Amino acid sequence: MAIILNIETSTEVCSVSLAENGKTLFLKESDEGLNHSKLLTVFIEELFSENNFDINNIDAVAVSKGPGSYTGLRIGVSVAKGLCYGLGKPLIGIGSIEAMGHYVAKNVGDFYTSADGEELLFCPMIDARRMEVYTALFNEEGNAENEVTAEIIDENSFANSLNKKKVLFFGNGADKCRDKITHENAVFNGPDKTTARFMQNLAEIKYNKSEFEDVAYFEPFYLKDFVATIPKNKVLK
């Protein structure tokens, strides 16, 4: 049993939670956009001060390692590493796709009522712009069926899986895929945003197995290289 600070900044959501034995004690989050550099350290400070909890009493820090927003991941991981270094606590890395897939699979009744004997697959999607998403498939035990990839969605996406089972699509990248994935076994339902709450159970499992990251060398899982763009009004003519 552990008390773990969870940090999720892989998308537009800035979310921090304190959990004991995988259960939420306190939570602070905002989905107002990529303001993580302004909000994250404030949320962490408020989480502990408002609840009269000493940060030195945590057992570990868990951080969403990606994939997702390059800037958001960099901010979250930097803050998590700084806390671990300063407090002398272990660091736990949790995949953003894995956290969503595992949580929904383990709490499917909150999102979908399946028929008796009906088998499901779970497909979290994080928006990667245009018709591309970061995604993977998870079984009913919350275990990944394949590696996390960046997929360009078209009418044939997930056809093999959809021909065999119903697939529950969710996450902030799912809604834009509705017009492409029209198979009768495609179900669009579930959470549309990431949150630190989704990390808590996996963080507890990893803590109990002592699956910790090297604080000095840990880096986010970006999946794709970062490509900087220049706003049109800044282009020299």
Tell me, what's the pLDDT at 225?
57
Q: Where in the chain is the domain with CATH 3.30.420.40?
A: 3-95+194-234
Tell me, what's the pLDDT at 226?
46
- The answer to whether 172 touches 195, Cβ cutoff 8 Å, is no
CATH architecture of 3-95+194-234: 2-Layer Sandwich (3.30)
Tell me, what's the pLDDT at 166?
96
Chunk the chain into consecutive blocks of 10 residues (it has 237) and report each block's average pLDDT, rounded to whole numbers. Answer: 96 97 97 91 97 97 97 97 98 98 96 86 96 97 96 97 97 97 96 97 98 97 62 44
- Strand, helix or coil for residue 207: helix
57 exposure class (CB count in 10 Å sphere: 0-12, 13-18, 19+): exposed
Tell me, what's the pLDDT at 224?
73
Q: Which residues of 63-99 are buried (b: 16+ CB within 10 A; e: fewer)?
A: bbbbbbbbebbbbbbebbbebbeeeebbbbbbbbbbb
Single pTM value for the model = 0.92
Tell me, what's the pLDDT at 99?
98
Tell me, what's the pLDDT at 235?
45
Instruction: Give the Cα separation of 202 and 106 in Å (integer).
Output: 11
CATH architecture of 98-188: 2-Layer Sandwich (3.30)
Q: Give the side-chain half-sphere CA count within 13 A for 31.
A: 6
